[in-house]
Amino acid sequence: MTYAGLEPVLIFTLLNVVMVLGLYVTAMSGQLSMATAAIAGVGGYASAVLTVKFGWAFLPAILMASLLSALVGVALALVTLKMRDFILKLTTLAFGEALAVLAFNWDYIGGANSFTGIGLKTTIWTCVIATSVALYVAWRFDGSRLGFAARAVRDDPIAAGAMGVSIAEVRGITFAVGGAVVGMGGAVQGHYMLVISPHELGFFISLNFIIFLLFGGLQTLWGPLFGAILLTALPEMLRFTSEYRLILYGLIITLVVLLRPNGMLTRVPTGREWRLFGYVLTPARPIAPPSAGVKPLPVAATGRPVGQAAAQ
């Protein structure tokens, strides 16, 4: 395959990496947003309107689009603040669909006919820069005080609150940072696709990013990165089986969920030893010496030992 044939694949892979990293930051506080595509759409529409209707330059338009997406993210965080875990995810879903319907019926941004006439500004280097920015943000967030606070909120909001972490603040910030990254990705994508249609804001597009994230595993930064790269490239790699490739795609997703419940890339569980041909790859790492004769109580309903964080 020549480079010219490879370039679109590379660009889409990089853009998917940007989006999934934004989603990773959002998900760190335990709130898996199901409106990623909608927030990316906000970014895309915003930068398209700014460049086409107001004659802005590319860079300020992207920055403004990121800012707007961040604001939408904060609004979403505030609406869903008091909701239970599972209902919350579905409310983000409905929020995304509502935005899609809004775009569908708003004639100023093209309505059902899509927004057209966007100039081609995105090159492969734009995507590389955007990916680098997203990676840097996610990496810094991962190790920061805020990142730890976010994970504390994810694992146990009540305990985190009791330790002085403001849940509203942490969730607002994760949604804002994640929204900004996703919005940047959406804006860059808009200037490559040249058309933005309301359908791209829908749930099934968002679901792609969630699949990337859960496929790769959301315990580390590398999980979503790996998931996005592999699953964007996979349908291309399976192209020789053209008719069966979507079936294989579905099969792989189901198998990963069944066999690797925490995703492909996970941290090695504490206390577990990994061997290859008899050689110890990673030695057993007990987190604390267990007291004699005390075993963790199994919970009948889930089968998980008490104290082990939920796979989420």
Partner 1 sequence: MDLFLQQVANGLVIGSTYAVVAIGFALAFTVLRVINFAHPDIFMVGMFTGLVAATQYPVVGVGLVMLAGMLGAGAVGFVLERTVIAPLRGRDVLMTLIGTLGVAIMLQNGMALIAGPDPVAFPSLLPRRSIDIGPVALTLRQIANFAICLLLLALVSFYVRGTSYGRATRAIAERPDVAAAFGVNVGRICQFTILLASLMAGAAAVSVGMLYGSASAFVGLLYGLKAFICMLVAGNRYFEGVMVVAIAIGIIEALVTGYLSSSLRDAVAFFVMIGVLYYRPNGLFGSYSS
Site for partner 1, rule CB under 8 A:
32, 79, 82-84, 86-87, 89-91, 94-95, 97-98, 101, 104-105, 112, 203-204, 207, 210-211, 214, 243-244, 246-247, 249-255, 257-258, 261, 300-303, 310-312
Angstrom distances, CA of residue 51 to CA of 117, 156, 198: 10, 44, 19
Helices (H) and strands (E) in the chain, counts: 11, 2
CB of 173 to partner 1, least distance (A): 22
Nearer to partner 1 by C-beta: 95 or 192?
95
CB of 124 to partner 1, least distance (A): 30
CB of 147 to partner 1, least distance (A): 21
Nearer to partner 1 by C-beta: 51 or 200?
200
Tokens 């419940």 label which residue?
261
Nearer to partner 1 by C-beta: 251 or 281?
251
Nearer to partner 1 by C-beta: 284 or 299?
299
Tokens 């998980």 label which residue?
304
In angstroms, the CA 120 to CA 288 distance is 56
Nearer to partner 1 by C-beta: 143 or 261?
261
Residue 64, classed as helix, strand or coil, is helix
Provide the residue type at 156 as one letter. D
**Cβ 37 vs Cβ 212: under 8 Å:** no
**Cβ 219 vs Cβ 145: under 8 Å:** no
CB of 106 to partner 1, least distance (A): 11
Provide the residue type at 152 as one letter. A
CB of 56 to partner 1, least distance (A): 30
How far is C-alpha 156 from the geometric centre of its chain's CA atoms? Answer: 21
Nearer to partner 1 by C-beta: 82 or 295?
82
In angstroms, the CA 35 to CA 147 distance is 21
Nearer to partner 1 by C-beta: 121 or 154?
154
CB of 171 to partner 1, least distance (A): 16
Residue 281, classed as helix, strand or coil, is strand
Instruction: Classify residue 74 as exposed, middle or buried by CB count within 10 Å of its CB (0-12, 13-18, 19+).
Output: middle
CB of 57 to partner 1, least distance (A): 34
Tokens 């190790």 label which residue?
143
